[in-house]
Amino acid sequence: GETTKVCYNENVFRTDGGSHAFKEIVQTGLECIGHIDLYAMSEVVMLAVRSLQAIHPNYILDISHLGFVQGLLGEAKLEEKQRQEVLRCMNAKNIPELSTLCRQWNLPSETACYLIELTRLYAPMGEALAKLQELNVNDQTASALAELSGVYRLLEVDGCHDRVYLDFSLTNDMDYYNGLIFRGFVEGLPSGVLAGGRYDNLVHRLGKQGGAIGFAVYLDLLE
């Protein structure tokens, strides 16, 4: 019944790709756990932007929403293996292979077009939201669009919206993440230095009600 906000500096350990070897990652981050409303989500995204600004003046924060992706995938009525293939193509922005798969599976042309356009979409958030409206097909995509639009309005109020982009090649682990996810980049480094999003699924697996959102900055990468 409470909302808790914490920050941390920790060494975490993750398996490296498909191997069982663990890699140590030095990171600092923050979490908001409990009742997650629109402002709580926006506050975390604002702090992500401010963190990138503190690291380097040339930065970009890419935002995606797994609810919108899942809404479109639901329209396609795909089997689980096919869903994973689509997500792989989206993550790589591999439009030719995605188009081929849609033809092989005889997906309706409109559904295939929506999936391809969502994968292709990459633009400043204000501009991209207008295009995203054209891909809004059901209640799940409408809910995701409303969240993204609300977050963007608050980013505008805070004055930190200029370098925020929509990019649906960010799919991440849908067993862990849900809803809004994001990744931050700075000039001179080839991979993201900041990553985060909603992870309500983990809270539920631990037997708790409520939501959670946060992000981490990879200090070892910055060094």
pLDDT in tens, 131-158: 999 999 999 999 999 999 999 999 999 9
Write down the H helix ranges in 12-62.
38-55
- State the pLDDT at residue 173: 73
Residue 162: strand, helix, or coil: coil
Mean pLDDT computed over 197-223: 91
Furthest CA-CA distance within the chain? 49
pLDDT band at 223 (very low <50, low <70, confident <90, very high): confident
What is the layout of strands, in order, in the sheet containing 164-167? 4-15, 22-34, 211-218, 194-198, 180-186, 59-65, 164-167, 122-124
Mean pLDDT of 114-132: 95
As given in the structure block, the two tokens for residue 21 are: 């070897």
21 phi/psi in degrees, rounded to 5: -75, 140
* Predicted TM-score of the model (pTM): 0.92
Share of the chain above pLDDT 70, in %: 99
According to DSSP, the β-strands at 59-65 and 164-167 are parallel
Q: What are phi and psi of 27, to 5 degrees?
A: -145, 160
Residue that is written with structure tokens 């409520």 in the block: 210
Helices and strands in the chain: count of H runs, count of E runs:
9, 8
pLDDT of amino acid 23? 86
Helix axes 38-55, 139-158, angle to 10 degrees: 50
Mean pLDDT of 180-199: 94
Is residue 15 within 8 Å of 2, Cβ to Cβ? no
Amino acid (one-letter) located at 161:
H
Q: What is the mean pLDDT of residues 163-174?
A: 88
Average pLDDT over residues 165-189: 89
Quick check: 60 pLDDT over 90?
yes
DSSP result, 91-160? HHT-HHHHHHHHHHTT--HHHHHHHHHHHH-EEEHHHHHHHHHTT--SHHHHHHHHHHHHHHHHHHHHT-
The overall average pLDDT reported for the chain is: 92
pLDDT category at 18 given cuts 50, 70, 90 is: low
Question: What is the DSSP code (8-state) at residue 155?
Answer: H
